[in-house]
Amino acid sequence: MAARMATTIVQFENVGLRYGTGAETLSDVSFSLDGGGFYFLTGPSGAGKTSLLKLLYLAQRPSRGLIRLFDEDVVTLPRDRLPGFRRRIGVVFQDFRLVPHLSAFDNIALPLRVAGVEEDELATPVNEMLAWVGLSDRASARPATLSGGEQQRVAIARAVIGRPEILIADEPTGNVDPEMAARLLHLFDALNKLGTTLVVATHDIHLLSRVSAAQLMRLEGGRLSDPTGALKNPPREPHMGKPRKPSA
């Protein structure tokens, strides 16, 4: 039990999220993720995938429930401690969110600059990352001049350059052709093999079969299920400590 807890880096217990006074977007979401795991999050549009990811990358606090990240309660975490946690998480946004007036090089260098890395120490890791995503020759190009796939790769490079412990990707293959999708998945797999925990939200069911070690989480109507029974740490009753199947 102690060994299993030591590897758990994300834990949700009875998490609910409500925007304003509307209905709950997420209800009673409970799960835990192991460090080094590869997780797919699927579900129909409007199921709450992006909301769940927002909670994971600390862009949103839940309306109720408990979220533990890296063994700390982040729901009540003081605001001034959030940056430290966010630097341990890489995010690939669905719409990339590249800074439009910065070059690909500067966009990728952004997390390092935020972390206070000196300018003369930036070139090597950023160029390595550009090479890794196959964009060495596009280093000085601005996002508007890059194709969708190239922008996607810049976004991935930016998300991983700070060597995050968790990489979260929201529909990373939504804007690229199947060949590029396969390449991106290959990049994710390589990262996962280096020890990064991956959480990938996708509609693309073909992706799921390409990573044999991946586990599946499915959201429907704001509720989490584990249809394949693949989650190694299935949702548990918060007060009982016993494993249970999540409600549909």
- Provide the binding-site residues for other proteins, judged by CB under 8 A: 57-61, 79-80, 82-87, 91, 97, 99, 101-102, 106, 109-111, 113-115, 119, 162
Q: How far is the CB of 59 from other proteins (least distance, A)?
A: 6
Q: Report the residue number, 162 or 222, with the smaller CB distance to other proteins.
A: 162
d(CA 230, CA 216): 6
Query: Of 195, 189, 194, 199, nearest to 167 (Cα)?
Result: 199
Q: Report the residue number, 70 or 85, with the smaller CB distance to other proteins.
A: 85
Q: Report the residue number, 73 or 177, with the smaller CB distance to other proteins.
A: 73
Q: Report the residue number, 122 or 208, with the smaller CB distance to other proteins.
A: 122
d(CA 208, CA 39): 9
Which residues are within 8 A (CB) of 122 and not within 5 positions of it... i.e. 6 or more apart?
109, 112, 113
d(CA 235, CA 125): 38
Q: How far is the CB of 79 from other proteins (least distance, A)?
A: 7
* DSSP H/E element including 96: none
Q: How far is the CB of 28 from other proteins (least distance, A)?
A: 22
Q: Report the residue number, 109 or 231, with the smaller CB distance to other proteins.
A: 109
Q: How far is the CB of 4 from other proteins (least distance, A)?
A: 29
d(CA 93, CA 91): 6
Which residues are within 8 A (CB) of 35 and not within 5 positions of it... i.e. 6 or more apart?
7, 8, 9, 165, 195, 197
Its sign, for the CA torsion 79, 81, 87, 90, is negative
Q: How far is the CB of 107 from other proteins (least distance, A)?
A: 9
Q: How far is the CB of 85 from other proteins (least distance, A)?
A: 8
Q: Report the residue number, 127 or 225, with the smaller CB distance to other proteins.
A: 127
Q: Report the residue number, 84 or 243, with the smaller CB distance to other proteins.
A: 84
d(CA 57, CA 162): 15
Q: Which amino acid would we find at residue 7?
A: T
Phi, psi of 89 (to 5 degrees): -125, 130
> In whole angstroms, what separates CA 108 from the centre of its chain?
17
Q: How far is the CB of 102 from other proteins (least distance, A)?
A: 6
